[in-house]
C-alpha cells in the first residue's frame, strides 16, 4: 500500500506509541489528584507543556491542551466571540477555511454575529487590501488558516499580523493544523493571539491538540466542570496522549529540516508530471506547501478516481476528510476557480517524511493509466 493521505491523518511514530503505552501503564494517575501517582502525572503534564512552549517559542502559560484541531478552533472562535461580544459582533474569516472554523462561524451567525468571508484568488490566497477594507469598528476577531488543507496554499500570516497591529482591538486566530511540523510559523513575530494545532497531523495520536492563547486574551470556556487548564478547558487531561503529542511535534519539527529536500523532490516530480498530463488540471499553487498536491480531472467524479487508485493499492482523498463523506465537491477549488465541474473532480495527494520518490513514480503512472482508461470508457459511452 502507498499511503498518500497524510493530510487526513498521519501514522504515529513508533516512539510516540511507546511513550503513550509507558505513560498509560506506569503514570496513569489523575494529574489533579494529590497522591503520589497524581503528582507524577502532573509533572509529566507540566514537562510536556514546557516542551511544546519551547518548540513554539511561547510561554508555558500560553499552552492549553485540547482534544484536537476541531476543539481548538471552536474554543478560539466561540470563546473569543462570547468573551468580547460587548465590544462588537463582527468576525472576519475566509471562504476556504476548514469546516471546524466555517461551521463554528455559521453557528455564531445564528446567534446574531456578523461574518465577512474573504474571497481568494487562483493561488488560494486572500488579498490584504480586501482584509483591511473588511475591518470595522465592531470587528473583534480575524480567523485565517495558515495552510489550506485541500490545496496547500499558504496565507500571508506575517503580513496579516503586521496589518492587524494597527488594530489592537482585533484578535488574530490562526488554524495551524496543516502547517504544524511542516511549515514554519513564528507565532510571536506574526502577532498571533490564538493558534490551533492537532496531534494526529504531526504523527501523534488522534484526540490530542493544542490551543495557544496569548497571555492577556480572554476566552469564555466551552466546557465547565473540573476547572482544568486554568478553567479554560475542563476535563481530566489525557496525560499519555499529551506526552505523546509533545514527542511527535518535536520529532516532526526535526524531520521538517532533515527531509525538506526529499519532500521538495517528490513534490516537484508529481507537480511537473500532473501538469504535463492530458485531461488533468492542477489546483495547488506552484508556491504551495510541499506535502499537499491537489488536481482535477474534469468530467470524472472524485470518488471514481479515488476508488480506481485504491484498487491499485494507492490511498488518497478527495476533499477534507471532515467533509468527504458528506459531499464530493471542493468548496476551496470552487472559491479559487469558480468552476463547478473542476471542483467536483478533485483528488488530494498528501505526503510525509517517510514517503519515497519511488512511491511518487508509481502513483503518477497509475494516475496516467487510470485517467486514460476512464476517458476511453467515457468516449465509448457517448
Candidates 140, 73, 67; CA nearest to 102 is 73
28-64 burial, b if ≥16 CB within 10 A, otherwise e? Answer: ebebeeeeeeeebbbebbeebbebbbebbebeeebbb
Among residues 322, 359, 362, 375, the one annotated as catalytic is: 322
Q: How far apart are CA 200 and CA 215, in angstroms?
A: 26
Q: Do the Cβ atoms of 31 and 237 come closer than 8 Å? A: yes
Q: State the alpha helices, DSSP H only, in 312-349.
A: 331-337, 340-343
Question: Helix, strand or coil for residue 174?
Answer: strand
Whether 322 is catalytic: yes
Order across the sheet with 139-143: list the strands. 63-66, 209-213, 194-198, 171-175, 139-143, 90-94, 114-118
DSSP 8-state assignment for residue 184: -
> Strand 90-94 and strand 63-66: pairing?
unpaired
Candidates 53, 63, 56; CA nearest to 215 is 63
Task: State the angle between helix axes of 260-276 and 239-258 in degrees (0 to 180), rounded to the nearest 10.
Answer: 70
Half-sphere exposure of 83 (CA within 13 A, CB side): 18
Handedness of CA 147, 360, 346, 68 (dihedral sign): negative
Q: How far apart are CA 327 and CA 196, in angstroms?
A: 25
Q: Is 94 exposed, middle or buried (0-12, 13-18, 19+ CB in 10 A)?
A: buried
Q: How far apart are CA 347 and CA 163, in angstroms?
A: 35
Q: How far apart are CA 350 and CA 364, in angstroms?
A: 13
Rounded to the nearest 5°, which phi and psi values hold at 111? Answer: -100, 10
Q: Residues with catalytic annotation? A: 322
Amino acid at each position: 500500500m502507498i499511503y498518500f493521505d497524510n493530510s487526513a491523518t498521519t501514522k504515529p511514530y513508533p516512539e510516540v506509541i511507546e511513550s503513550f503505552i509507558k505513560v498509560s501503564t506506569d503514570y496513569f494517575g489523575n494529574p489533579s489528584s494529590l497522591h503520589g501517582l497524581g503528582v507524577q502525572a502532573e509533572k509529566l503534564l507540566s514537562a510536556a507543556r514546557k516542551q511544546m512552549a519551547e518548540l513554539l517559542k511561547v510561554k508555558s502559560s500560553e499552552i492549553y491542551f485540547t482534544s484536537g484541531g476541531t476543539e481548538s478552533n471552536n474554543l478560539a472562535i466561540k470563546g473569543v466571540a462570547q468573551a468580547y461580544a460587548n465590544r462588537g459582533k463582527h468576525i472576519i474569516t475566509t471562504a476556504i477555511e476548514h469546516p471546524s472554523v466555517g461551521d463554528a462561524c455559521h453557528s455564531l451567525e445564528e446567534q446574531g454575529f456578523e461574518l465577512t468571508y474573504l474571497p481568494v484568488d487562483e493561488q488560494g490566497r486572500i488579498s490584504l487590501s480586501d482584509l483591511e477594507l473588511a475591518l470595522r469598528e465592531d470587528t473583534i476577531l480575524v480567523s485565517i488558516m495558515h495552510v489550506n488543507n485541500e490545496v496547500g496554499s499558504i496565507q500571508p500570516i506575517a503580513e496579516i499580523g503586521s496589518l492587524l497591529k494597527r488594530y489592537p482591538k482585533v484578535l488574530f486566530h490562526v488554524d495551524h493544523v496543516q502547517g504544524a511540523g511542516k511549515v514554519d510559523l513564528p507565532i510571536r513575530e506574526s502577532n498571533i493571539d490564538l493558534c490551533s494545532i492537532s496531534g494526529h497531523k504531526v504523527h501523534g495520536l488522534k484526540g490530542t491538540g493544542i490551543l495557544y492563547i496569548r497571555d492577556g486574551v480572554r476566552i469564555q470556556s466551552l466546557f465547565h466542570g473540573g476547572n482544568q487548564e486554568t478553567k479554560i478547558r475542563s476535563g481530566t487531561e489525557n496525560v499519555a496522549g499529551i506526552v505523546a503529542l509533545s514527542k511527535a511535534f518535536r520529532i516532526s519539527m526535526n524531520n521538517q529540516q532533515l527531509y525538506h529536500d526529499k519532500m521538495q523532490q517528490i513534490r516537484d516530480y508529481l507537480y511537473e508530471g500532473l501538469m504535463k498530463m492530458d485531461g488533468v488540471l492542477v489546483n495547488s499553487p506552484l508556491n504551495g506547501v510541499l506535502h499537499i498536491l491537489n488536481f482535477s480531472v474534469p468530467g470524472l467524479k472524485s470518488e471514481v478516481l479515488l476508488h480506481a487508485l485504491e484498487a491499485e493499492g494507492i490511498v488518497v482523498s478527495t476533499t477534507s476528510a471532515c467533509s468527504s463523506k458528506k459531499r464530493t465537491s471542493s468548496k476551496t477549488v470552487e472559491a479559487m476557480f469558480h468552476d463547478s465541474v473542476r471542483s467536483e473532480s478533485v483528488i488530494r495527494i498528501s505526503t510525509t517524511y517517510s514517503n519515497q520518490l519511488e512511491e511518487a513514480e508509481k502513483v503518477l503512472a497509475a494516475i496516467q493509466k487510470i485517467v486514460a482508461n476512464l476517458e476511453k470508457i467515457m468516449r465509448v459511452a457517448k
